[in-house]
Amino acid sequence: MHNPFSILLRPVALLYRSVVQFRNTLFDRKIFKSWESPIPVVSIGNLSAGGTGKTPLVDWIVKYYLSIGCKPAIVSRGYLRESKGVQLVSDGQRILLSSKEAGDETAMLAWNNPDAIVIVAKKREDAVTYIVKHFAQRTPSVIILDDAFQHRQIDRALNVAIINAEEPFLKAKMLPEGRLREPLKNLSRADLIVLNKITDHEKAHAIMKELENNGRPIVNARLKIGELICFSGETSTSDEPYFSKKLNVFAFAGIANPESFVESLTKEGINVAAHRFFHDHEPYSVKKLRAIRRKAEEKGLSLITTEKDYFRMLGHPEFIRILATMPCYYLKIETDIFEGKEIMQSMLKAVIGK
């Protein structure tokens, strides 16, 4: 939908674009230098601000490396975490920090991949240095930089850029007028492009034709429904999947694209009778969660949220206590690479010399 105030933001967007391009020029001309990690690095990132399905893709890549016998380490900034400096979230054997200290997405990646080392740090170079020093006896095979397309201070063996097929690719605008962190032409820095969240193949084909101009390999992917996990108020006493129960729910979430969440639930036969959505990464509070519970109880509905939102609440025990005793679920989302998987696996293997 067109924003009538966007024209007022255009001068700021043009200034932001100029600053971004000037910074990139300094890196391109080697005035700003990229540090070379002693451990091979794979960077996963995007051009737009959120909503590309980056975290499920990072999860897919981590699981792929683990499946071929490689030990990966994940390095993230830990967006909105309450801790400072370099923090070890998981040593590949134990989860050491909550989502409050690590950030919700980082905690989720750690819990879903208990064999992976996970570090949060404001400066990624500090995180890599920490890994080299503290894991000398079991050095990881590869380091995965989460959300690092714009982070050019570290050189990388593979640079993966994600494009959201649901967004208007050719009409995308720079922040704050639009959602782009940098111009589309900068996709030329990518070694591999993942066109993600594909639902409309005709629309995706049009984007593909434009992306082909970059001369980079392109992988087609979509999000698929994973498990529906009950975390409060109910336990399954049979092998019957929760999806078959025709749930009537009150959905809530703080993500970039809540509409896609509702669409996913509806496709699985879950009736979303009511909902409340917050801004992406918007903090929850006791007041907000009590209001959500009250509304759900008034309508006789179960509660459902995203996996990311569940982990955000998990770092605050008081939030989980508010929802205790009533049926509460979270939905797992996974990446499905349906075209170009072999290309991606080959490029991931090449990083580690396999």
Chain segment 226-274, per-residue pLDDT in tens: 999 999 886 544 445 555 567 899 999 998 888 889 988 998 889 999 9
Q: What is the largest CA-CA distance in the chain?
A: 63
Pick the closest to residue 81 from 103, 97, 111, 104 (CA basis): 103
Q: What is the mean pLDDT of the chain?
A: 92
- Tell whether the model's pLDDT for residue 299 goes beyond 60: yes
Given a contact cutoff of 8 angstroms between Cβ atoms, the answer to whether 120 and 98 are in contact is no
Pick the closest to residue 296 from 221, 233, 225 (CA basis): 233
Given a contact cutoff of 8 angstroms between Cβ atoms, the answer to whether 310 and 230 are in contact is no
pLDDT reported for residue 238: 42
Beta carbons within 10 angstroms of residue 99's beta carbon? 26
Amino acid at 18: S
Prediction pTM value: 0.91
pLDDT reported for residue 2: 53
pLDDT reported for residue 255: 87
Angle, vertex CA 125, rays to CA 121 and CA 129, nearest 5: 95
pLDDT reported for residue 283: 85
CA dist 348 to 55, 94, 141, 193, 195, Å? 17, 26, 11, 13, 17
Helix/strand/coil for 175: coil
In which residue are the tokens 């830990």 written? 78
Instruction: Give the burial class of 239: count Cβ atoms within 10 A of its Cβ; 0-12 exposed, 13-18 middle, 19 or more buried.
Output: exposed
What is the full DSSP assignment across 204-232? Answer: HHHHHHHHGGGT--EEEEEEEEEEEEEEE
